[in-house]
Amino acid sequence: MPADVARALDAAGVRDEYDERPPYQRNDYIGWVTRAKRPETRQRRIDQMIDELRAGDVYMKMEWSGRRGH
């Protein structure tokens, strides 16, 4: 995991939520973030990932019902 992504997850307090996601989702998020060509795009993607992890029932702007406890 890139250091900036790890710092963002930790700073937002959503590292556990990230770690609870299935491996394919964790891989998708990291790949999507690292494929950004511009720093502002990368940051926007990190912000979206954090927002989705906070919500718990969203994955890549789609509803996701795999949240633990559901």
Beta bridge mates, 58: 63
Give pLDDT, residue 63.
80
Instruction: With cut-offs at 50, 70 and 90, classify the pLDDT of residue 58.
Output: confident
Backbone angles phi, psi at 51, to 5 degrees: -60, -40
Beta-carbon contacts of residue 14 (< 8 Å; ≥ 6 apart):
50, 53, 54
pTM of the complete model: 0.87
Residue scoring higher pLDDT (8 or 68): 8
- Identify the band that residue 68 occupies on the pLDDT scale cut at 50, 70 and 90: low
Q: Give the pLDDT of residue 69.
A: 44
pLDDT of 24? 93
CA 39 to chain centre: 16
Domain boundaries, the chain: 3-59
For 36, the token pair is: 């950004």
